[in-house]
Amino acid sequence: MNNAFIAVLRRDLLLAWRSRADLLVALSFFVIVASLFPFGVGADPDQLRAIGPGVVWVAALLATLLALPRMFSQDFESGVLEQLLLSQEPPVLWVSAKIAAHWLSTGLPLVVVSPLLALMYGLPPGAIEVLALALLIGTPILSLIGAIGAALTLGLRGAGSLLALLVLPLMVPVLIFGAGSVDAWASGIGLRAHLFLMGGGLFAALALAPFASAAALRITMD
């Protein structure tokens, strides 16, 4: 089983690297969206520090959403997805590998770039560390939730718009606690509650999302 997980993970990461232009689109979208807000709200340092965490989180959510449709679409179009479903390997195993590959190729680069964007908003070093930590915990949840929506909308006309309608309401709590963790640190009330809630959400998503995604793929392919 572990061999199947590693094989699918390596394959998807290799495919992502070969089509890295698509990955750069999501990363560029993240940077551009986060960079536009200072032009719209002005250059007041206090105002930028106040909105910075929320803006970075919204940009990360939208960039993740932009990259979600390709999680299963390439394999669906090439027929690989049908072969995987017919194989003897548990669907949960290779679905988990595909979700992990999606986060490593999309979510992790957003986490790495986020401190640079936080500097643009004048966030202090402590706030930047909290923001990066919150994104490190929260972006996998976005990929896990998004996998369910991507599986449910696979092959449908207008799948991108429908996918957004399905998963955005479920992603809002992650956005609230992720951006709120920086505010909690800044106000001195402690951020453990925010991070613990996000950690609990991550474990819940890890336990449930691969099974839900696998079931949705079976329904879609039937």
Q: Provide φ and ψ at 69, rounded to 5°.
A: -55, -30
Q: For the chain, what is the mean pLDDT?
A: 87
CA neighbor of 173 nearest in space, from 208, 202, 147: 202
| Lowest-confidence region among 75-79, 134-138, 199-203, 216-220 | 75-79
Domain tally, the chain: 1
> By residue range, what is the domain housing residue 109?
2-221
96 vs 69: which has the higher pLDDT: 96
Does the predicted model carry a pTM greater than 0.95? no
pLDDT for 12 beyond 60: yes
To which residue do tokens 């999680």 refer?
71
- What are the tokens at 55? 């803006």
44 three-class SS: coil
Q: What is the mean pLDDT of residues 122-139?
A: 92
The percentage of residues in the chain with a pLDDT greater than 70, rounded to a whole number, is: 99
Residues 134-164 pLDDT 10s: 999 999 999 999 999 998 888 777 777 888 8
71 vs 22: which has the higher pLDDT: 71
